[in-house]
């Protein structure tokens, strides 16, 4: 039965009851109810004066301490569960998670320190990867780590100490200057390495700018101490095309690629390195053996017993000298390969270069990195939520069930007590 369904008499009696409890006068017909209330209240136990005084001293004094800001240890522990402190702790946890995520992602670190950790690791870029658009930035900022400052001049082999990598397409790691300069260190244990480098770069430029780009490629190559070994520039409308075969001191290869990447959109970049140390050493050893054999033959020639024997020795000496010339040429070629890197540049028709890709500011980079970090945080939060939500729901259901069971047990206890 709802309150609306109560009859008017019952409603009047309930209203009268409120007035009785508020010690307000009621109609004569409700005096019986007032007497009933008085009897029920009279049946209730009254507090002993001693207990009343004790309780008053206990809680009124505590109330004053509460007002003065005093807190018991239990109070303090409860307060730690308060909403404000929970919010504060939650905010701190979120801030810590943000900081940890940023550190892990390395996004802001790259923005602050120039992304040194990623330099020299990008060897093949394609337009689909998206990284090609930023190749100029990467290579420009990465040039100091891949190209020694004391780069050798053209014709001088670049000798890398220790960390050379065999095979085409492997990572070319520049030696630490201290390792190369320290006498008696690993330099003696590890022979000098000769690294041959080759790269190919594909740029996209509007046909109208093809000639200008070609001229800038030549100028940039000469500026870096390189030469144009071969070039083919065809400026004929939409089908304009340009290709170059460049040779540049190995130490300047990175800078040149960075410069060329800023001239147009980078479609592809492929860098290869090859360790030719073993070939170089093998040729040197062969040369030494042939020089030794040549000396021996000349000694034998000086003491030849007959003209026939001398003629035969001269013939052998000629053959050895020819071999020695070939070995020296091979050695010179290997030294040339190590000292000069080759760069093949193709310029194809395409859209104009996006300026922002090459001129992005550190602030913009930091902004994008921060956005990336926030995306990672959101992803982590979703994963954590997906893990915790079932447990939280189970816990909530258990708590709700336990509270219901406890309440029913209380009701049973009340019924059983009387």
Cα gap 12→338, rounded to integer Å: 109
CB 175 within 8 A of CB 159: no
Among 24, 25, 27, 46, binds other proteins (CB under 8 A): 46
Among the residue ranges 18-26, 276-284, 302-310, 373-381, the one whose residues contact other proteins (CB under 8 A) = 18-26
Using rule CB under 8 A, residue 169 touches other proteins: no
Among 8, 27, 40, 302, binds other proteins (CB under 8 A): 40
Using rule CB under 8 A, residue 91 touches other proteins: no
Count of positions on this chain that bind other proteins (CB under 8 A): 59
Helix (H, G, I), strand (E, B) or coil at 168: coil
Using rule CB under 8 A, residue 62 touches other proteins: yes
Least separation in angstroms between residue 105's CB and other proteins is 39
Among 25, 27, 32, 178, binds other proteins (CB under 8 A): 32
Using rule CB under 8 A, residue 47 touches other proteins: yes
CB atoms within 10 A of CB 231: 15
Rg value, the chain, Cα? 45
Structure tokens given for 170: 């492997």
Chain centroid to CA 66: how far?
52
Among 8, 39, 76, 150, binds other proteins (CB under 8 A): 39
The number of residues in the chain equals: 418
Using rule CB under 8 A, residue 410 touches other proteins: yes
The sign of the torsion formed by the CA atoms of 243, 248, 251, 255 equals negative
Least separation in angstroms between residue 89's CB and other proteins is 15
Range 308-313, long-range pairs (CB < 8 A, 24+ positions): none
Among 17, 26, 154, 179, binds other proteins (CB under 8 A): 17
Structure tokens given for 323: 């071999």
CB atoms within 10 A of CB 364: 12
Using rule CB under 8 A, residue 417 touches other proteins: yes
Among 19, 24, 28, 33, binds other proteins (CB under 8 A): 33
Among the residue ranges 51-59, 172-180, 295-303, 394-402, the one whose residues contact other proteins (CB under 8 A) = 51-59
Least separation in angstroms between residue 29's CB and other proteins is 8
Cα gap 113→107, rounded to integer Å: 10
Among 10, 99, 176, 181, binds other proteins (CB under 8 A): 10
Using rule CB under 8 A, residue 408 touches other proteins: no
Cα gap 156→335, rounded to integer Å: 7
Cα gap 154→159, rounded to integer Å: 13
Using rule CB under 8 A, residue 59 touches other proteins: yes
Cα gap 340→337, rounded to integer Å: 5
Using rule CB under 8 A, residue 24 touches other proteins: no
**Measured in Å, how far apart are the chain's first and last C-alpha atoms?**
27
Among 3, 189, 238, 308, binds other proteins (CB under 8 A): 3
Using rule CB under 8 A, residue 60 touches other proteins: yes
Among 27, 79, 223, 338, binds other proteins (CB under 8 A): 79
Structure tokens given for 230: 């071969």
CB 167 within 8 A of CB 274: yes
Cα gap 83→92, rounded to integer Å: 14
Distance (Å) of CA 114 to CA 58, 108, 117: 66, 10, 9
Given the complex with other proteins, which of 79 and 354 has the nearer CB atom? 79
Using rule CB under 8 A, residue 391 touches other proteins: no
Using rule CB under 8 A, residue 64 touches other proteins: yes
Among 8, 24, 28, 43, binds other proteins (CB under 8 A): 43
Enumerate binding residues for other proteins (CB under 8 A): 1-4, 6, 10, 13-14, 17-18, 21-22, 29, 32-33, 35-37, 39-48, 51-52, 55-56, 58-60, 62-69, 74-75, 78-79, 81-82, 407, 409-411, 413-418
């Amino acid at each position: 039965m709802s309150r609306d369904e109560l009859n008017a008499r019952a409603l009047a009696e309930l209203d009268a009851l409120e007035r009785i409890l508020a010690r307000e006068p009621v109609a004569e017909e409700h005096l019986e109810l007032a007497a009933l209330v008085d009897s029920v209240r009279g049946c209730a136990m009254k507090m002993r004066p001693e207990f009343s005084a004790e309780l008053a001293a206990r809680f009124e004094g505590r109330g004053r301490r509460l007002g003065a800001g005093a807190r018991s240890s239990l109070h303090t522990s409860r307060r730690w569960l308060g909403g404000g402190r929970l919010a504060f702790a939650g905010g701190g946890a979120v801030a810590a998670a943000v900081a940890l995520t940023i550190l892990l992602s390395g996004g802001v670190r790259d923005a602050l320190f120039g992304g040194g950790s990623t330099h020299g690791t990008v060897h093949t870029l394609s337009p689909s990867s998206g990284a090609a658009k930023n190749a100029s930035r990467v290579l420009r900022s990465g040039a100091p780590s891949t190209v020694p400052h004391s780069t050798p001049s053209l014709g001088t082999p670049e000798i890398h100490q220790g960390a050379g990598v065999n095979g085409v397409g492997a990572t070319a790691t520049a030696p630490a200057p201290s390792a190369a300069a320290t006498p008696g260190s690993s330099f003696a244990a590890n022979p000098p390495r000769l690294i041959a480098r080759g790269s190919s770069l594909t740029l996209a430029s509007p046909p109208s700018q093809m000639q200008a780009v070609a001229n800038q490629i030549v100028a940039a190559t000469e500026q870096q101490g390189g030469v144009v070994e071969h070039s083919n520039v065809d400026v004929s409308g939409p089908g304009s095309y340009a290709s170059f075969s460049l040779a540049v001191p190995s130490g300047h290869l990175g800078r040149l690629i960075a410069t060329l990447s800023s001239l147009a959109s980078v479609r592809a970049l492929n860098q290869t390195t090859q360790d030719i140390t073993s070939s170089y050493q093998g040729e040197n050893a062969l040369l030494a053996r042939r020089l030794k054999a040549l000396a021996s033959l000349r000694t034998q020639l000086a003491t030849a017993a007959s003209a026939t024997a001398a003629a035969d020795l001269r013939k052998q000496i000629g053959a050895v000298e020819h071999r020695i010339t070939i070995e020296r040429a091979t050695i010179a070629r290997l030294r040339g390969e190590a000292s000069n890197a080759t760069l093949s540049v193709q310029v194809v028709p395409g859209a104009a270069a996006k300026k922002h890709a090459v001129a992005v500011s550190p602030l913009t980079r930091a902004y994008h990195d921060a956005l990336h970090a926030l995306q990672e945080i959101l992803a982590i939060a979703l994963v954590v939520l997906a893990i915790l939500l079932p447990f939280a729901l189970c816990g909530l259901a258990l708590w709700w069930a336990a509270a219901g069971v406890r309440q029913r047990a209380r009701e049973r206890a009340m019924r059983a007590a009387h």
